[in-house]
Structure 1
Amino acid sequence: MRDDRIRELVTARVSGQRRITELAAARKRPGAHERHMIIALDHPARGALRAGRRPLAMADRFDLLDRLCVALARPGVTGVLGTADVLEDLLLLGALDDKAVFGSMNRGGLAGTVFEMDDRFTGYTAAGIDRRGFEGGKMLLRIDPDDPSTVRTLEACGRAVSDLASRGLIAMVEPFLSHRIEGRIRNDLTAESMIRVISVAAGLGDTSAYTWLKLPVVPELERVMAASTLPALILGGEVGADQEATLESWRSALALPTVLGLVVGRSLLYPPDDDVAKAVDAAVGLL
């Protein structure tokens, strides 16, 4: 971002919430899409700044916003997922017109902490998402059979699904079976574990009419996806060295009947060759 654009953004921030509210109200809403290409960026709010081999890749907010604006401007990109600070920056930069916007809701389980599994809702609320005219909310649901705090996250996600649905908003649920191994949270990506957590996530709330699932590519994906009739989006995960292999795995997933598209962040914003536009175009091409 140029220095003058940075100054404009900071000046707009100083003018306060009124300007952000006005821009949210004036935002041009997206049309209907059969396939979705959503750019995700809610990692920093959990203190997770790594992308590939770069431990602080996402620490420079202006560089990150530059990458996001490049990605959102590419043809075929339909939406964005983020926390309030990121989405409001993008509003101020005029980058959210015609995009489906999803607010990230539970960011309390900070990466690397002893309370990581107690993933409290410290971000968007259903009421806040509705007030800003966004299309839905996203929540992370990690289930650790050995951690009693999991049930608080489970209960909070159930309430959030119901609250979003009562407003006609999409609830995007990202479920994992997780374990703490040598002090770090690890997700179990076996087919059996994913089938189990999908079954739990699909049953959250007092209706599933507005629930979408956000799921990784795992072995036996066809059998995993058969666990639910809910619409699903494939997440990108960590930045991989072999982009062609990653693209091929997404291509296979997109052939399954419940998969609507992709929701990808670091893999496209911080590709190995650092060419964001090229990475995004390759992903869009799969749709």
Structure 2
Amino acid sequence: MPELNLDRIRDLRAGRPEAIAEAAAARRRRPLLGPDGRLMLVAADHPARGALGVRAVTDAMGDRGDLLRRLVVALDRPGVDGVLGTPDILEDLLLLGALDDKIVIGSMNRGGLQGAAFELDDRFTAYDAATIAAMGFDGGKMLTRIDPADPGTVATLEASGRAVSELAAHKVMAMVEPFLAGRVDGRVVNDLSAAAVVRSVAIAGGLGVTSAYTWLKLPVVEDMATVMAATTLPSLLLGGDPAGHPDETYARWRAALALPGVRGLVVGRALLYPQDGDVAGAVDAAVSLVRAESRAEAA
């Protein structure tokens, strides 16, 4: 892991908070899509929702310095296009100079804290569209869980629709991550059947005054061909909670990446906290899947 000057970040935050806006203004930017039309993004917005666990380690993401070191390693790997995060994490990365020539997606709603009674009333407590645009970022992401039995769902849907519209007005990506969800023994559980994902895709695609800038962030489930047949919107596959052997995970990703409409991956914990501790190796393996599929299309 690289050595990072965290004391400098602490000093800047305390004494020169305007350094964050200055770093954002000076950041080198790039087009959303490169020549192959694919994206490989690293996700790091879990902590702000209180979701710190990875596998059996409940506080794995609790050490900010350790998380930043893992992110810097991941972002430095060839073929990694960018990062998805909340303001605190993205601002640390800005101050570290780690976001030049990277796609940056701001996470917007983190109010549905993991395990809370109000988890499905997922308030927008992080980025808004105006700030994403002002910072020169490339889009905003919203988690949109839909439980017909929970009244909090309608507030989340309304807020997500408004965010899609506002992001589109700034001509930046609106990344919607939809799930059909419900409570099992008091715990929110996402329905990962193909039929449920198709229904969530249909609902997500209709949010906002236009879908021109809408992308979907979708789980990899059985019968992904049926899921992808439900939309013409560009879609990225999410990594989800790391479970099982990495080879099995990569095989599922590889198959899904070959489907029409799938543009790449957004993966967080599975790459940042691999079982063997080799962040660079895990990231390189994921990149090879995304880029190999683009090479196959070109051939």
Relative to the length of structure 1, the TM-score reads 0.98
Q: Out of 243, 258, 277, which is 2:280 matched to?
A: 277
Is this contact kept in 1: 2:238–2:266, CA < 8 A? yes
Matched with 1:267 is 270
Is this contact kept in 1: 2:109–2:143, CA < 8 A? yes
Whole-angstrom distance in 1 between the partners of 2:137 and 2:55? 30
Letter in 1 for 2:249: T
Q: Out of 77, 99, 102, which is 2:105 matched to?
A: 102
Matched, 1:222 2:228: no
1:3 deviation in Å? 7.2
Is this contact kept in 2: 1:169–1:210, CA < 8 A? yes
Is this contact kept in 2: 1:213–1:232, CA < 8 A? yes
Whole-angstrom distance in 2 between the partners of 1:226 and 1:162? 24
SS at match of 2:28: coil
Matched, 1:186 2:168: no
Answer with 78-87 or 28-37: which moved more: 28-37
Matched with 2:240 is 237
Matched with 1:140 is 143
Structure 2: runs of 5 or more not aligned? 291-299
Structure 1, residues 12-45: CA drift from partner, whole Å, max 9, x if none?
2223331000000010002332111000010000
Matched with 1:129 is 132
SS at match of 2:5: helix
Letter in 1 for 2:103: A
Letter in 2 for 1:178: A
Whole-angstrom distance in 2 between the partners of 1:160 and 1:170? 11
> CA 1:116–1:28 in 2, change beyond 3 Å: closer, same or farther?
same
Letter in 1 for 2:164: V
1:206 deviation in Å? 0.5
**Which aligned segments of 4 or more residues in structure 1 are displaced greater than 3 angstroms?**
1-4
Matched, 1:83 2:83: no
Letter in 2 for 1:262: L
Whole-angstrom distance in 2 between the partners of 1:141 and 1:76? 28
Matched with 2:9 is 9
Identity of aligned residues (%): 61
Is this contact kept in 2: 1:241–1:272, CA < 8 A? no
Aligned length: 287
Letter in 1 for 2:11: T
Whole-angstrom distance in 2 between the partners of 1:170 and 1:181? 33
Is this contact kept in 2: 1:164–1:170, CA < 8 A? yes
Is this contact kept in 2: 1:191–1:220, CA < 8 A? yes
Q: Out of 149, 153, 175, which is 1:150 matched to?
A: 153
Whole-angstrom distance in 2 between the partners of 1:98 and 1:219? 35
Whole-angstrom distance in 1 between the partners of 2:238 and 2:146? 18
Whole-angstrom distance in 2 between the partners of 1:15 and 1:124? 23
Is this contact kept in 1: 2:2–2:73, CA < 8 A? no
Structure 1, residues 226-282: CA drift from partner, whole Å, max 9, x if none?
100000000000112300010111101110110000000000000110100000000
SS at match of 1:279: helix
Relative to the length of structure 2, the TM-score reads 0.94
> CA 1:4–1:176 in 2, change beyond 3 Å: closer, same or farther?
closer
Matched with 2:118 is 115
Matched with 1:171 is 174
Letter in 1 for 2:208: G
Structure 1, residues 60-106: CA drift from partner, whole Å, max 9, x if none?
00000000000000000001000000000000011000110000000
Whole-angstrom distance in 1 between the partners of 2:2 and 2:255? 40
Letter in 2 for 1:24: A
Whole-angstrom distance in 1 between the partners of 2:130 and 2:215? 19
Q: What is the root-mean-square deviation of aligned Cα atoms in Å?
A: 1.1
Whole-angstrom distance in 2 between the partners of 1:196 and 1:182? 24
Whole-angstrom distance in 2 between the partners of 1:71 and 1:53? 22
1:225 deviation in Å? 0.8
Answer with 237-246 or 192-201: which moved more: 237-246
